[in-house]
Chain A
């Protein structure tokens, strides 16, 4: 059986390797990929969309339909994580641990209290809580606003430099995850609630598809941003540049919210009450 498997693997591998001989040379200007559409994108991008970054214009304009469904894939991943992992029943075992803020005394309750104690007096902590490190907490608190600012810059500056909705969304999502790691999951959840993550990831996809549908309603093709020129009160070329920006914002929202949603569900075993 093993010999048969090895023979099949060797045969398929040999076929694949022999097929690589037919590949065009690395960087060959006469290869089919470099002959047909690439020169058009390279020469016409500035004229068509006034976006200096060709990658962005191909991603969000020439092939915007593809990117719309990439965003949908991200959204679907978030929804799948939510449906598979989210649990409503409370955690078994010793259910609530609180720390008295003034004295530092830790109180463990064997069952959940009917009413939560006043949060200014008792702070709820995780079951396996260890004192947080002051340096890590405060440096992260200092850095997170700058990380988020950089994430916004990456989204908005995708026209001119490497970047765009996916990258900026990941940076924004990572800043919230950093807050959850360095403080705790409840602190991060106060900043970005579960409802917000779900809504924002859906709204991101909706913005993308909505811009496309708006172009359709204005008489152009789906995702043909030039048709939005009368609404935006600019010429069609600038409208395409602005349309790329709108869909990048949608992508950024969807990616950020989905990352936070997946992280929260994974870190807290789907209960969103405590975790890393």
Chain B
């Protein structure tokens, strides 16, 4: 059980790491929001899921309640985080922020 929890936590950490690297490395506003919205959502889903699983260990009513609360956090995070990212992208488009295009060969940066 603890092994499974550790593995899931580790996988979630990999996604968070990917998200952080993506935010730093991607070229513009929209593509940076892409890892921020997706990786964080999946990473927190995995990590919170692992914590809920860990809490189920002595299978009592109290622990199940804690696990259900963590599961509810996951549900609301799943709804709210992509929506927030979408709202930011939407605001960027309305404000006239142009999307990044691959620079042509020899045209400089």
What is A's interface to B at a CB cutoff of 8 Å? 130, 133, 135-136, 139-140, 142-143, 146
Contacts and interface: CB of A to CB of B under 8 A. Distances in A.
B79 interface: yes
B87 A146 contact: no
A133 B76 contact: no
B79 A139 contact: yes
Interface in B63-91: 76, 79-80, 83, 86-87, 90
B94 A139 contact: no
Across the A-B interface, give the 9 residue pairs with the lowest CB-CB distance, nearest first. Answer: A139-B83, A136-B87, A133-B90, A135-B86, A139-B79, A130-B94, A136-B83, A143-B79, A135-B83
A174 B32 CA distance: 27
Contacts of B94: 130
Contacts of A146: 76
Nearest to A138: B83
A160 to B, nearest CB: 13
B65 to A, nearest CB: 12
Contacts of A133: 86-87, 90
Nearest to A131: B94
Contacts of A135: 83, 86
Nearest to B94: A130
B87 to A, nearest CB: 5
Nearest to A132: B90
Contacts of B90: 133, 136
A10 to B, nearest CB: 38
A82 B80 CA distance: 32
A235 to B, nearest CB: 27
Given A135-B83, A143-B80, 17 more contacts: A130-B94, A133-B86, A133-B87, A133-B90, A135-B86, A136-B83, A136-B86, A136-B87, A136-B90, A139-B79, A139-B80, A139-B83, A140-B83, A142-B79, A143-B76, A143-B79, A146-B76
